[in-house]
Amino acid sequence: MITKATGDGEKRDQEILLSIVKEMTESMTGAQSTRHWAKDTLWFDIPPFASKGVRPALEMFDRVFGTFQSCKVDILKVETVVNGDMGVVCTVQEVKVVLKSGDSKVMLVRETDCFERRDGEWLLIHQHASVPAGGKWDGKILTA
């Protein structure tokens, strides 16, 4: 895990944000998934889907999770940055899904969760998840 904290408050904020992201990876309903979302969240998901606001995402999560027998998400890499009332959590996740039909899928997913502290509470204001296009990706992140 990479963290870029300069003080105890920043480190605590990073821990809070990472716990919210982990909670979202364990959810199986729209209500659980969007519990920490701001009402004006902008969201881009793996299928070609985008929404502004919670309602469209909540409905899509319920529809998709309704087809799952199980879903297990392992966070393979994480980077968390906090700057005042803004925070960003970037993860690489391995998602293992078993559908109610019995079919199973494994995906490597990149996700960026952007948070803003509003009235003392961290709220997700933007989320972007993607599956790398153009063939297989080894999960390595290159840095300068």
Task: Give start and end residues of each alpha helix (H) in the chain.
Answer: 8-25, 30-33, 54-65
**Mean pLDDT for the chain?**
87
The model carries a pTM of 0.84
Cα–Cα distances in angstroms (integers) from residue 6 to residues 3, 10, 11, 67, 100, in the given order = 9, 7, 7, 43, 46
Residue 44 or 49, more confident: 44
- The string over 78-96, giving b where at least 16 C-beta atoms fall within 10 Å of a residue's C-beta and e elsewhere, is bbbbbeeeebebbbbbebe
- For domain 2-130, give the fold: Nuclear Transport Factor 2; Chain: A, (3.10.450)
Domain ranges of the chain: 2-130
